[in-house]
Structure 1
Amino acid sequence: MRFPIERDPRCPFDPPAALRGLPPMSRLEFADGHLGWLATTSEAARTVLADPRFSARQELKHVPVRAARPGGPSSPAPPGFFAAMDPPEHTRYRRLLTGQFTVRRMRLLEPRIERITADHLDAMAAAGPPVDLVTAFALPIPSLVICELLGVPYADHVFFQERSSDIVLPDRDAQGAMADLGAYLGDLIRRKRADPGDDLISGLTGELTDEELTNVAMILLVAGHETTANMLALGVFALLRNGVPYEENAVEELLRWLSVLQVGAPSRAALEDVEVAGTKVGKGETVAMSLAAINRDDAVFDDPDELRPDRQEARRHLSFGHGVHQCLGQQLARNELRIGYRALFERFPGLRLAVPAADVPLKQDAAVYGVACLPVTW
């Protein structure tokens, strides 16, 4: 099988047809010609993600998806870019950040998420239908929330939103966007050192260098904005297209059923020969993941292709990863989705698509799957 593997636009929520019926580990030819593996079951993915014999280091991996990374694909991660590090380097950053993503801080953010969401729903109501839910609702809310967490002034949120989108969308100046964000964050960090506040960057100024803090903030910004924004819009599209009413417990099922990270992410490189699901993975080979297939594993989920908001086992999905690299901000993302979906459907109970479902454009080439725009009316 060759990469990339695209979803069928006629079935926008289903895994690509090419992934149906594959064994847990299948040979995959990456875009650069590397012959690696694709994990398609929950058991195989959990094994790879939890085994220290598999590395997250970017200089060891072949990149399965089109993405921009500091230093290029063959360079070690720069200081602070903890997502592409292994223990013990990764452990140090993880421990510091875990202290910032406390239950208390997440609870304190909930009223702000509610206020930000309400303000955007007010603006939608004032503008009147139809509106593009992506630009009016899904993109700005997580952008403002992550700015609140990091301590970014409100006036700069549009800049953040645009630049973080440029990093992950195809045909954009990703390197230029990263340079702009890096310069801005460096200046913000210097200001926080002089005048700290009650925010994540201020809380880490005594522990990390400017370069480390800049890269940590960059990861949190992109990860905390783009994935949640796409989940908000794609989740609404899924509910409206399938005629499924929103329920309070629907967030976990939508995370499972949609799997917005594209085929190939995350990935790991074998540090030695390792057997996974009865398959020998050779030293130096990269194992990519298909979360779209993994989260539809019928060994874990009954009738996995059905969207069932009351599904009891939905939380067994791997949309936030597994092992030492499991998403730090997963509780924040859950809060944003829960508050956002609930407020939207309570405010506009007659919400519906303003165009035929087949006319909603999908983002096939982006690292994060979603809709380019979502015209809705009520």
Structure 2
Amino acid sequence: MWRPSSTARASLAQSPDQHYVVTEQGVLSLVESDVEVTATAASADQPVLIAVGHAQDVKAWLASDPYILITGLTDWDTLESTAVTTSCPEEAAPTATAEATAAATTAEATPTATTDADGCTALENSDADPTDSDLWITTETGTGSVTLELDTAGSDLAILVATDGASNAPQVTLAWPRHVSTPWLIPGLVVGGLLLLVGVFLFLVDIQMRRADEQRRARAAERAARMAQADSVATVGIPRIGDPNRPLTRREQRDKERAEEAGEEWVDPRTGAVYVGGVQAPTVPQAPAPEPEELTTDAVEASGAARGSAVVPGLDSDTTAAHRATRELDETESFTVVDAEEPASPESKALPVAEEGAAPDENTDESDEEHQA
């Protein structure tokens, strides 16, 4: 895209206003030795002539005619030119060949030249037709537009471009083939190839990252589904009480947050404290254990324990031993016989009185021993 054109093509900046256009010696080989000359007339029916000759012969043939002299290139698109309309005495007269001198003497007589204050003579058109001259090495004629290709290597050739000599000269274009170097072509291709490889590598990395992200999302969704299913079953476990200063695990933290949002009960696994809706529930005070001396028979009966039970439910070992001590018989105190209808005092231990007239039981001793037992 940025490579310059391989052909340098330059034309006159404007259409000539003189009858002849001439190139200075060396202009034809200014870029390359191969040059293409194109002359285009103002109208398609005008005759066009491109005459090639030695530079000295061309200027000798012009004699006192004004002309446009092409001296070089203003830029790659424009020819540099100047109008030659006077002839000053300090200018050295061109050395012409004998053939050119003879042609100049046989040419039509020119009008009387006028001289200005500087001693320069104004040149006037003779309207001479260069087609009939035999000074030219080669010529190319046509109508409207004419093109001529030349090889000017190591020569002093010049060209003269005209129509019929009586009209303004045609537009002139010179074209040279030129070698255009592209020093950045190979580095640009290398850099472009590296950028392409980097782009392909990044594209593959992006695909791999997208695939890994999809797999990670799938695993996270599956894990969340398992956790939701596990959380749907209410389970109560014994809290693991350990270091109260350790941080909660992620699972314990999730359970705590879920219980706070739902207003449910949550047990701190570190301390065993119970939280309801994020607020710690107060501990339930335990009833104090009764002292052994305060426990009486009435209290035991009120508690529902059967008289004579070996173990009273709900009592510890010391209380049970104290209760048993109150139930044992005193072997030193004698029994007293009282009436069955009289209430027995708590201090005395009596046996019931036998009915009158009853025969004495021969097994009285055994009965007494059994009753005592």
Q: Shorter-chain TM-score: what band?
A: under 0.3
- Report the structure, 1 or 2, having the larger helix content: 1
Q: Which structure is higher in RCO with an 8 Å CA cutoff and minimum separation 6? A: 1
TM-score under structure 2 length normalisation: 0.19
TM-score under structure 1 length normalisation: 0.19
- Report the structure, 1 or 2, having the larger strand content: 2
